[in-house]
């Protein structure tokens, strides 16, 4: 492997790695990441931020559940230990249902649905049960409903970020991102992405690449173009990126062949962009894991 070849982790891979046990994921994901050197394992801040936002959403709902089911009810602190346990068990057993109720009632359109947030929220709740029994009401209120929640979140997430930073490089190169010279190639990439999105829409797919995904794609392009890396393997868990990559490549081909750009104004740029994008490989994590076993 050449020195400037790196593996970039998509948000869904960060989740699989960090929450492997909770999600009952294949340990091979962790082995694979551990097998990479720190320089080879790269994470874009935008992925890290997306990952942290998922934790943030989940923790807020955990807090809301505790607030609604425990703190806003009278007399929690008057209950004996056994009664407290019974209440907690009740919440735990119906957690999924309570989660969905709260999400629909209070956070419609603000927090994305999705099993991962619910699974994390439940796990946070279960881990906090001991504290819910021990702590006095005042302290609990400060942590769950008032300003200490933010400190707790920052502490929790810094712990996770430390783990990530031990294994991987968080790459930040803003000069590359905001450079006016490369606007023409960028424009072609964005055209390709829009083509991909309108394609999906015409086929009535509801799931189109998020704004984050589009930025990530362009970011990877710029890293290759700026020769920060010679080759990038982007590891992900679904085929959104692969399809986006293919559509953009096809769009570039159309320009090179003159089908999409009759006067040939953009041909030169399309050739360059096409050469660059060939150095980007999109890989499903499962392919990598099986490859490693062989």
Partner 1 sequence: MTSNNLLGKINDEKSLTDPSFPLEEYYKVPNIEKMRDYLVKRYEENLLIIYESVLALILNPEDEDKLKTLSKEVEKIKENFELYNSILENNTTIGEYVNMTMDKLQKLIDGLKENEEEFYKEVLNSDNPNFLITTYYSLYLRFVTTVYLKLHKTNITNPNIKTKDSRIKDVFNITNFLVGFFGMPILIYIKKKEVFPYISELSGALLHALVADRTPIPSKDSLGYYLFSKIHVVKNESK
Q: Does 151 bind partner 1 (CB under 8 A)?
A: yes
Q: Does 271 bind partner 1 (CB under 8 A)?
A: no
Q: Does 127 bind partner 1 (CB under 8 A)?
A: yes
CA distance 232 to 283: 10
Q: Does 136 bind partner 1 (CB under 8 A)?
A: no
Which residue in the set 24, 110, 202, 206 belongs to the binding site for partner 1 (CB under 8 A)? 110
Q: Does 159 bind partner 1 (CB under 8 A)?
A: yes
136 phi/psi in degrees, rounded to 5? -75, 160
Which residue in the set 2, 74, 175, 202 belongs to the binding site for partner 1 (CB under 8 A)? 175
Contact 16, 284 (CB under 8 A): no
- Our CA angle for 103, 200, 212, nearest 5°, is 55
Which residue in the set 28, 145, 197, 281 belongs to the binding site for partner 1 (CB under 8 A)? 145
Question: Rounded to the nearest whole angstrom, what is the least distance from the CB of residue 68 to partner 1 in the complex?
Answer: 8
Which residue in the set 93, 106, 230, 271 belongs to the binding site for partner 1 (CB under 8 A)? 106
Question: Rounded to the nearest whole angstrom, what is the least distance from the CB of residue 49 to partner 1 in the complex?
Answer: 4
Q: Is 267 exposed, middle or buried (0-12, 13-18, 19+ CB in 10 A)?
A: middle
At what angle are helices 267-277 and 183-202 packed, to 10 degrees? 80
Q: Does 263 bind partner 1 (CB under 8 A)?
A: no
Q: Does 146 bind partner 1 (CB under 8 A)?
A: yes
Residues 21-50 that bind partner 1 (CB under 8 A): 21-22, 45-46, 48-50
Provide CB contacts within 8 A for 152, sequence distance 6+: 59, 143
Q: Which is nearer to partner 1, 50 or 185 (CB)?
A: 50
CA distance 229 to 241: 19
Question: Rounded to the nearest whole angstrom, what is the least distance from the CB of residue 21 to partner 1 in the complex?
Answer: 6
Contact 251, 266 (CB under 8 A): no
The tokens of 2 are what? 């050449």
Question: Rounded to the nearest whole angstrom, what is the least distance from the CB of residue 231 to partner 1 in the complex?
Answer: 24
Show the beta-strand stretches assigned E in the chain. 5-9, 41-43, 169-170, 231-236, 280-284
Q: Does 109 bind partner 1 (CB under 8 A)?
A: yes
Question: Rounded to the nearest whole angstrom, what is the least distance from the CB of residue 1 to partner 1 in the complex?
Answer: 28
Provide CB contacts within 8 A for 11, sequence distance 6+: 47, 50, 51, 54
End-to-end Cα separation, the chain, in angstroms: 18
Which residue in the set 31, 89, 113, 154 belongs to the binding site for partner 1 (CB under 8 A)? 154
Q: Does 148 bind partner 1 (CB under 8 A)?
A: yes
Contact 256, 267 (CB under 8 A): yes
Which residue in the set 24, 136, 162, 206 belongs to the binding site for partner 1 (CB under 8 A)? 162
Q: Does 64 bind partner 1 (CB under 8 A)?
A: yes
Positions in the binding site for partner 1 (CB under 8 A): 18, 21-22, 45-46, 48-50, 52-53, 56-57, 60-61, 63-64, 67-68, 106-107, 109-112, 123-124, 127-128, 131, 139, 143, 145-163, 172, 174-175, 177-178, 211-212, 215
């Amino acid at each position: 492997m050449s020195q400037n070849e790196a593996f970039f982790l998509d948000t869904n891979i960060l989740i699989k790695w960090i929450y492997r046990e909770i999600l009952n994921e294949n340990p091979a994901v962790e082995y694979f990441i551990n097998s990479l050197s720190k320089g080879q394992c790269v994470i874009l801040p935008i992925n890290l931020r997306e990952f942290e936002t998922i934790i943030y959403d989940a923790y807020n709902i955990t807090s809301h559940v505790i607030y609604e089911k425990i703190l806003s009810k009278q007399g929690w602190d008057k209950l004996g230990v056994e009664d407290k346990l019974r209440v907690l068990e009740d919440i735990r057993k119906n957690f999924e249902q309570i989660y969905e109720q709260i999400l629909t009632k209070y956070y419609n359109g603000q927090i994305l649905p999705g099993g991962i947030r619910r699974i994390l929220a439940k796990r946070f709740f279960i881990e906090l049960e001991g504290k819910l029994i021990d702590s006095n009401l005042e302290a609990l209120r400060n942590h769950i409903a008032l300003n200490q929640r933010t400190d707790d979140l920052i502490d929790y997430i810094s712990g996770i970020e430390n783990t990530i930073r031990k294994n991987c490089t968080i790459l930040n190169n803003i000069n590359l991102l905001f450079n006016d010279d490369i606007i023409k190639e960028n424009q072609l990439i964005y055209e390709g992405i829009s083509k991909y999105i309108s394609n999906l829409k015409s086929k009535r797919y509801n799931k189109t690449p998020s704004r984050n995904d589009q930025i990530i794609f362009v970011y990877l392009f710029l890293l290759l173009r700026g020769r920060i890396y010679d080759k990038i393997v982007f590891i992900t868990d679904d085929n959104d990126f692969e399809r986006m990559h293919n559509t953009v490549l096809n769009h570039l081909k159309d320009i090179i062949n003159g089908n999409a750009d009759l006067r040939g104004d953009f041909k030169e740029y399309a050739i360059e962009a096409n050469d660059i994008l060939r150095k980007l490989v999109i890989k499903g994590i499962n392919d990598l894991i099986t490859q490693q076993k062989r």
